[in-house]
Amino acid sequence: MFDDERPVFNRLRLTNFLSYRDAVLELDDFVALVGPNASGKSNAVAAIKLLCDIPTHGLPTAINRRGGFDQLRHRSQGHPYDPAVRIEFTIGDTSLQSFYELKLRAVEGKRYAVKSESGAVLTASQSFRFEHEGGVVRTSEVFSPNQPALEQTLRVPQGQSALNGVASFAAIRINQLLGGIQTVEINTAKVSELQDPSSTDTFEPDGSNTASVFEALSAERREELFDELRAIVPGMDRVEVRRFADKVTLAFYQSVGTRTRREFFAKQMSDGTLRAFAVVVALLQPRKPALVVIEEPEIAIHIGALRTLVDILNQHAEETQILITTHSADIVDSLDIDSLRVVWTEKGSSSISAVADHTIQTVRDGLISSGDLLRANALDPALRLF
């Protein structure tokens, strides 16, 4: 029924969302969000997490996980505004722009209602659309070029999203596409401790089921993982899953000089090794995400391995779109300057932009590096008029 081609996510628009008054994040194969602390990088990721959570957990839980509706509202001069999030994407070999947009409004008692919700999935041969307002969902579905649109009117409970439980092809397909976005914020303590066996092969964002997802990898993907891990951690021979009663953990086999340490358990490994391992497992998980968002992948990883990590991420970006947040000048130096998105705060609002043309030219002329500009807080953004 649906085209099976992987979507390409083009941009994320934030309106009155957390620290953003009005901003657009342009996506690509590999993009890095850079900027000072508290500039708004994590708030942009929070919007993506909200979109990820709606298909699996429903809109109320997705909002509660962000601290509740009132916390999502942008405030300017003490006045709160109602938030909206829009993500745009294409499917297949077409310039037709598909999208999903959610607008919320405040109601009494710091509660929310869905002001409007809409989506469109457009391919060369099919068109699925829906619009949701006031609990009423109107759909329009075209299954082949010469077929008239099939239209219907449906209802959803107050405060719920049309993506949950509505028999609309657009809602179902957008639900699937948003579910194909993976956020990764590795907690190495969760990776190192004994883990509960997982019944799913989908990577948990904190890495708490790393052992089970690794065990679910094919032999080919495990070998690819070992090759990439060895590039970051020299001397790594292999990794195996070990069981203790009703728990699982990882055993690392690492050569040290002429000796081989056997059953070097996860709790004995460095945070940098565990983080690198978990990130690569997330990238190789059985059902490859369409977009992977990784927050500060450089934490605890040896500075000498960061360029190798970027090389690995670049290789995976050929199949999976990657978005990272980073403070690392070494990572920034390893990326093409066109991959950078600068985040900054001005007059109480966050903004996102590509790097200014004059700064790009200065870097390409070899006068200074992107990393040096980041260290000096001198990566000038390109100004954008909305």
Give me the residue spans of the domains in the chain: 7-180+321-375, 189-288
Print burial letters for 2-40: b (CB count within 10 Å at least 16), e (below 16): eeeebbbbbebbbbbbbbbbebbbebbebbbbbbeeebb
CA separation for the pair 59, 117 (Å, rounded) = 12
Residue type, 165: G
Which residue type is seen at 259? R
C-alpha radius of gyration, the chain, whole number: 22
Question: Angle at CA 343, nearest 5°, toward 368 and 27?
Answer: 95
**For residues 75 and 17, is the Cβ–Cβ distance under 8 A?**
no
> Strand, helix or coil at 189?
helix
CATH code of the domain made up of 7-180+321-375: 3.40.50
Q: For position 1, what pLDDT does the model report?
A: 44
Find all residues with CB under 8 Å of 115, minimum gap 6, and list them: 82, 84, 103, 104, 105, 133
Q: What pLDDT was estimated at residue 260? A: 60
User: Whole-angstrom Cα distance, residue 277 to residue 362?
Assistant: 36
Write the CB contacts of 153 (distance below 8 Å, at least 6 apart in sequence): 136, 137, 138, 139
User: Is 279:206 a contact under the CB 8 Å cutoff?
Assistant: no
Q: What gap in Å lies between CA 164 and CA 155, rounded to an integer?
A: 11
Tokens of 33: 């969000």
Residues of the chain with confidence (pLDDT) below 70:
1-4, 257-261, 384-386
Taking a C-beta distance cutoff of 8 angstroms, is the pair 364, 65 a contact? no
**Residue 326 tokens, joined:** 């980073």
Q: What is the pLDDT of residue 261?
A: 63
Do the beta carbons of residue 168 and residue 184 sit within 8 Å?
A: no
Query: What is the reported pLDDT for 3?
Result: 47
What pLDDT does residue 257 have?
66
- The burial of 314, by beta-carbon neighbours within 10 Å (0-12 exposed, 13-18 middle, 19 or more buried), is given as middle
Angle between helices 306-316 and 219-232 (to 10 degrees): 150
pLDDT at 4: 58
Per-position b or e across 138-154, b if 16+ CB within 10 A of its CB: bbbbbeeeeeeeeeeeb
